Structure 1
Amino acid sequence: MKKRTIGSSDLLVSELGLGCMSLPAELEAARSVLDEAIESGINYFDTADLYNKGTNEELIGNVLKEKRQDLVIATKAGNKWTSEGESWTWDPSREHIMDAVKQSLQRLQLDYIDLYQLHGGTMEDDADETIEAFETLKKEGVIREYGISSIRPAVIDRFLRSSNAVSVMMQYNLLDRRPEEYFPLIAEHGASVVTRGTLAKGLLTAEGMKRIQKTDGFASYTSSDLQQTVKTLFDQTDNLHAYALAFALKEPVAASALIGSRTPEQLRESLQAYDTPTDPEILKQLIKATVPHRYEEHRV
């Protein structure tokens, strides 16, 4: 497993990272996936305090604590569950972040978090207050680095210009190329992209033609356009999974492509795809078959 550095930091992460949101909620089932990932060379694990009301962080803490020194563990904050526990509200305030990080450290059983990310963002936020909280946590050694998880260009632009953020997590894949327009901006600020939705909800795996029958559009594609595009992609390669991963990692600004797996078998499929050689010419044809849509809202 090759590794890349996240932005201007010293965080060296595997090209494939494990997005932990889809982990099973039962400890031993989650352990089987996490152990498989580590044995395969994955050292980057991403979660959030929002996932399963914090129990996702607890699972990761229980399994990964003994291997902690070899791993890069990332989590996120900014969303707060209501007292009823049925929904959450957005709270990027310093007070909330300073409290949320303590809760995450306890659940993860960590002394520090490698990468702490703002889990969203709006232009109505007091960005300076949020950034000041992250900077304080970094100075105190509670976190090593920080970043933002957002698909709103205006929010990302302001955050990067006002902070020392090293990462931007964005949905990016062959069917959602909207972030490409802002890759130069991200690189200019010394940050890296971490891709989520790398396999487009499985549409870019061997099950894509089955899954598309239950998918009503994706990103900026209408249902009919999506079906035609996915069919075209499948017509041009017999291993779309491998090319989907190669696509996500082709830009130097990309540090890691997150994959989600509920079982060790699913994880092994992605690992095998990652290890499969791809033809640059075929990748060019696949890219040509897709549309580089633009974000229509929240533009810089």
Structure 2
Amino acid sequence: MRTNQLGSSELYVSEIGLGCMSLGTDEGQAVKLIHEALDQGVNFLDTADLYDKGRNEELVGKAVQGRREDVIIATKVGNRRVEGQDGWVWDPSKDYIKSAVKDSLRRLGTDYIDLYQLHGGTLDDPVEETIEAFEELKREGWIRYYGISSIRPNVIREYVSKSNIVSVMSQYSILDRRPEEEVLDLLAENGISAIARGPVARGILSDRGQSKAEKGYLDYSKNELLDILKRLEEYGNGADLTHTAIRYALSHAAVACTIPGASSLEQLLHNIAAGTVEKLSPQDIQTIQAITRANQYEAHR
């Protein structure tokens, strides 16, 4: 498995990581999947305190016992549960971040987090205070580095200019090319890495694409998606669409890692196999971009 440096950090992440959100809550199954991923060369595991009300972090923690030094754990903060209420509220305050990290550390069964990410963000947040919280956690040794998980270009620009983030996690795929116009070049110019989530676009860019396309995707209608799938298949001439999709998400210089999710061993191994596939050529990338369109951020700014 190829590895890439994550921004200016000392972290070298496998180009294909594991998005742990879809692991489920069964401990045996989740631990088995994570162990297989690690055995196959994956070293980057992404979770969040939000996933399954903290259970996901617990499962990741159990799976990496005895292998902690070989794993880069990324988790997220900013969504706070209110006792007695359903759901979560957004809280990027310094007090909450410095409190929540202790709960994540306990659930993960570790004394440090490799990459701590703000799980969202808006321009109404107390950005300086939020950054101060991450910087203090870094100085105190609870986290090694920090980043943000956001699809908002204006928020990303704030953190690029004001903080020491090493990464930005954002949705990016053949069907969601929004980061190409406003985000990826900005990150590359500032030595910050992108972590691409959703590379197979909810399974549309897979062998189950026709059924997954039923409800459309972003600004694509079902019929548009079916036409795109047909044209990609024709151009690929037998190439596996999932592998092409993962390789596309990795094709921009800013992208250090992509994190497809997996809920079965078959799906996990299939995703990881994209690491053995040749990189896309400039011609491949141009053709794929001609088949799709460069979407733009509108609602999320």
Asked whether the two chains share a fold, i.e. TM above 0.5, the reply is yes
SS in 2 for 1:200: coil
Aligned position for 2:218: 219
Aligned position for 2:196: 195
* Distance in 1 separating the partners of 2:129 and 2:285: 43
* Distance in 2 separating the partners of 1:199 and 1:255: 17
Gaps in structure 2 of 5+ consecutive residues: none
How far is 1:242 from its partner?
1.5
SS in 1 for 2:4: strand
CA distances 1:180-200 after superposition (whole Å, capped 9, x unpaired): 112121122221000000111
Aligned position for 1:208: 209
> What is the 5 A alignment of 1:142-157?
142-157=142-157
Aligned position for 2:100: 100
Compare 268-277 and 125-134 and name the one that shifted more: 268-277
CA distances 1:207-230 after superposition (whole Å, capped 9, x unpaired): 1123223xx221232333223222
> What is the 5 A alignment of 1:112-191?
112-181=112-181, 182-191=183-192
How far is 1:241 from its partner?
1.3
Gaps in structure 1 of 5+ consecutive residues: none
> What is the 5 A alignment of 1:1-300?
1-84=1-84, 86-181=86-181, 182-213=183-214, 216-237=215-236, 238=238, 239-277=240-278, 280=281, 281-299=283-301
> In the alignment, is the contact (CA less than 8 A) between 1:193 and 1:253 conserved in 2?
yes
> In the alignment, is the contact (CA less than 8 A) between 2:21 and 2:47 conserved in 1?
yes
CA distances 1:141-168 after superposition (whole Å, capped 9, x unpaired): 1100000000000011001111000000
* Distance in 2 separating the partners of 1:282 and 1:250: 10
SS in 1 for 2:17: strand
Compare 222-231 and 92-101 and name the one that shifted more: 222-231
How far is 1:298 from its partner?
4.6
Compare 118-127 and 79-88 and name the one that shifted more: 79-88
Match of 1:229, as an amino acid? I
> In the alignment, is the contact (CA less than 8 A) between 1:5 and 1:13 conserved in 2?
yes
> In the alignment, is the contact (CA less than 8 A) between 2:2 and 2:275 conserved in 1?
no
Match of 1:292, as an amino acid? A
SS in 2 for 1:168: strand
> In the alignment, is the contact (CA less than 8 A) between 1:155 and 1:298 conserved in 2?
no
Match of 1:291, as an amino acid? R
Compare 73-82 and 179-188 and name the one that shifted more: 179-188
* Distance in 1 separating the partners of 2:269 and 2:134: 36
How far is 1:85 from its partner?
5.3
* Distance in 1 separating the partners of 2:133 and 2:58: 24
How far is 1:261 from its partner?
0.5
> In the alignment, is the contact (CA less than 8 A) between 1:47 and 1:75 conserved in 2?
yes
> In the alignment, is the contact (CA less than 8 A) between 2:15 and 2:275 conserved in 1?
no
Compare 109-118 and 62-71 and name the one that shifted more: 62-71
How far is 1:297 from its partner?
3.6
Give TM-score, length-normalised by structure 1: 0.95
Q: Would the alpha carbon gap of residues 94 and 278 (structure 1) be closer, same or farther in structure 2, given more than 3 Å must change?
A: closer
> In the alignment, is the contact (CA less than 8 A) between 1:161 and 1:189 conserved in 2?
no
* Distance in 2 separating the partners of 1:40 and 1:267: 10
CA distances 1:256-290 after superposition (whole Å, capped 9, x unpaired): 01010111111111122331336623443222201
* Distance in 2 separating the partners of 1:45 and 1:174: 23
* Distance in 1 separating the partners of 2:89 and 2:145: 25
> In the alignment, is the contact (CA less than 8 A) between 1:176 and 1:220 conserved in 2?
no
SS in 2 for 1:16: coil
Give TM-score, length-normalised by structure 2: 0.95
* Distance in 1 separating the partners of 2:103 and 2:109: 10
Quote the RMSD (CA, aligned, Å). 1.4
> In the alignment, is the contact (CA less than 8 A) between 2:205 and 2:242 conserved in 1?
yes
> In the alignment, is the contact (CA less than 8 A) between 2:118 and 2:148 conserved in 1?
yes
